[in-house]
Amino acid sequence: MHEKLFNMMARRAVIIPTSEIYNPIAGFYDYGPVGLLIKRKIVDMWREIFIKEDGFLEIDGSTLLPEIALKASGHVDHFNDPLTECRKCHRRYRADHLLEEAKKIDASHMTNEQMTAAIRENGIKCSVCAGELDEVKPFNMMFKTSVGAVDGSSITLYLRPETAQNIFMDFNKLFNTHGAKLPLGIGQVGRSYRNEISPRQGLIRVREFEQMEVEFFFDPSEDDSQYLEQVKDIVVPLQTREQQRRKENFDFVSLGSAYENGDIPVRTVAYFMAKEQKLLNALGIMNFRFRHLMEDETPHYSGGNFDVEIPTKFGWVEVISLAYRTNYDLARHKEFSGKNLEVTFNNKKVLAHVVEPSIGLGRLFWCALEHAYVEDKERGWDWLNLPPRIAPYDAYILPLMKKDNLPEKAKEVYAQLLTMFDVYYDASGSIGRRYAKADEIGVPYCVTIDYQTLEDETVTVRFRNDGKQARIPLDILASELMRFKYNGTVEGAKSGLPLIQVQQPKDEEEGKSQ
């Protein structure tokens, strides 16, 4: 199915390999008009749930950071992937991926030395020239550059590997200018860069991507029970460490009981688990799990990390990382900058602790589309069952014919709706083909302007999921579309308007199927 989805995305220019007219470099993609609209609406949904609901702040930081800042964060010394190189043709491979693909060996917990031994023991060679592979070595994933006109005075910079560090470095200023109170949530949507050894699987592993992150700063000595109290009865799919040791999958547990059992380290983590589940459900993703990272996967500074993993045709894919980062980042920046990053709150000095929900936007985009993809033999074409609020267009505006003043009337309707909705005017091909084009990219409603429109100022609204149609007066069309959109339904029966059960259009001749 993912091949069909990739083909649709390429055919409709949902995503486009960057510099496609040349020999494109792996791991870089442009978002076309349809993809961009879906992506923006996912961001809007995130902003609503993670920023606006709690009155958090939001910044937009530079993508270039000085070397010293990334030394403080640990990225200069430790942000590495395992690299092995062919001694003959010098092709490079990511060693853990190579072992997985060649021998189905899970190398996620192996050291570089263990991966080298596994490659030797299994006789794995270069896939290009069958040459011997070198020892596995660490490969730093950051893109390095410099600023300054004179070599001797240039400053070393890196394209940031994550958006979080901007927030940590801005924290004190934002604390002092926005109320001087804890807790304080600061979010950011922005681009990050990682020089992946072997980008693959489309949007799943790329070199340039976008993150949606929140850093939630709090005083660990203060009572945080209110956060758990709000979400204690919410049930989530949680895979504990013990279940992983027993090779078991997740169970559905309440966040309250998970905290009481010691599976969740701080109450605030449970609060953000509930928010992450709310976002996924709003995007139409119901199948996922929270996996508690094993001890050898968890960074040394962390008080507990959870990955939200979603099943795809590529297997379980990590889409969200939820980390209790303690006060490690602020302590490191305090040390390397020489600045006191403690804040005064409740008459005491606090080096704030942090909980971080970090979301990979491209991966979430892909998973939302894959989970919405419907293979429909009965209809004759596949389509995306996207929730109306993240559909690229709220409606297609379609004149039934290209004559008799129908296009002019359709353009008038289009212009009126354009101030409130994302709408698309399409007059090319048969009405059936235009319905299919709209369905394919997930447009929930098609508004057809026909001969009856010229007589009584009503239009036909077709509902994507069931093909039902309703006649709606033009003077209430905008309010009805808004109600359909925010009710989260594409079921025509819920509109209270008269329905017309119709066959899906199959005729090639324009207008005949109507």
- Per-residue DSSP letter, 205: B
CA distances from 497 to 381, 450, 464, 491, 504 (A): 28, 18, 16, 11, 20
Output the pLDDT for position 352.
97
**Residues 224 and 258 reside in one and the same domain:** yes
Final residue of a domain: which of 348, 371, 394? 371
pLDDT mean values, one per 10 residues, the chain (514 residues): 87 94 92 97 97 97 96 92 93 91 88 94 93 94 85 85 97 96 97 89 91 97 94 96 94 96 95 97 95 90 93 93 96 97 96 97 96 93 94 97 95 96 96 96 96 96 92 94 73 37 35 35
Collapsing DSSP states into helix, strand and coil, what is residue 387? coil
Output the pLDDT for position 509.
38
**Residues 388 and 311 reside in one and the same domain:** no
Q: Does residue 513 sit within a domain? A: no
- CA–CA separation, 73 vs 335, rounded Å? 11
**Encoded tokens for 203:** 């949007």
Q: Does residue 22 sit within a domain? A: yes
Output the pLDDT for position 150.
63
| Amino acid, single-letter form, for residue 421 | F
Categorise residue 442: left if φ over 0, alpha if ψ from -120 to 50, beta otherwise.
Answer: left
Final residue of a domain: which of 320, 338, 371? 371
**Residues 154 and 124 reside in one and the same domain:** no
- CA–CA separation, 198 vs 55, rounded Å? 40
**Residues 426 and 463 reside in one and the same domain:** yes
- Say if residues 226 and 382 touch (Cβ distance below 8 Å): no
Handedness of CA 431, 434, 438, 439 (dihedral sign): positive
**Encoded tokens for 114:** 């263990």
**Residues 171 and 220 reside in one and the same domain:** yes
**Residues 440 and 367 reside in one and the same domain:** no
Does the model's pTM come out above 0.85? yes
As for how many domains the chain has, the answer is 3
- Say if residues 126 and 89 touch (Cβ distance below 8 Å): yes
- What CATH number does residue 422 fall under? 3.40.50.800
Final residue of a domain: which of 119, 140, 161? 140
- Say if residues 158 and 166 touch (Cβ distance below 8 Å): no
Output the pLDDT for position 300.
81
3-state secondary structure 299-348: CCCCCCEEEEEEEECCEEEEEEEEEEEECHHHHHHHHHHCCCCCEEECCE
DSSP per-residue string spanning 217-260: EE-TTS--HHHHHHHTT-EEEEE-HHHHHTT---EEEEHHHHHH
The torsion angles phi and psi of 75, rounded to 5 degrees, stand at: -70, -35
- CA–CA separation, 231 vs 333, rounded Å? 33
| Amino acid, single-letter form, for residue 436 | A
In a 10 Å sphere around its CB, with 0-12 CB exposed, 13-18 middle and 19+ buried, how is residue 108 labelled?
Answer: exposed
- CA–CA separation, 193 vs 162, rounded Å? 7
Output the pLDDT for position 491.
40
- What CATH number does residue 134 fall under? 3.30.40.230
Helices and strands: H and E segment counts in the chain? 17, 27
Q: What angle in degrees, to the nearest 10, is found between the helix axes of 267-282 and 33-46?
A: 140
Output the pLDDT for position 486.
81
- CA–CA separation, 389 vs 409, rounded Å? 27
**Residues 309 and 204 reside in one and the same domain:** yes
**Residues 136 and 268 reside in one and the same domain:** no
**Residues 361 and 382 reside in one and the same domain:** no
Q: Does residue 507 sit within a domain? A: no
Residue-number span of the structural domain to which 480 is assigned: 375-500
**Residues 361 and 220 reside in one and the same domain:** yes
| Amino acid, single-letter form, for residue 337 | S
- Say if residues 392 and 240 touch (Cβ distance below 8 Å): no
Candidates 70, 62, 60, 125; CA nearest to 99 is 125
Output the pLDDT for position 504.
33
The torsion angles phi and psi of 98, rounded to 5 degrees, stand at: -60, -45
Q: Does residue 157 sit within a domain? A: yes
- CA–CA separation, 61 vs 188, rounded Å? 8
**Residues 124 and 56 reside in one and the same domain:** no
**Residues 278 and 382 reside in one and the same domain:** no
- Say if residues 64 and 158 touch (Cβ distance below 8 Å): yes
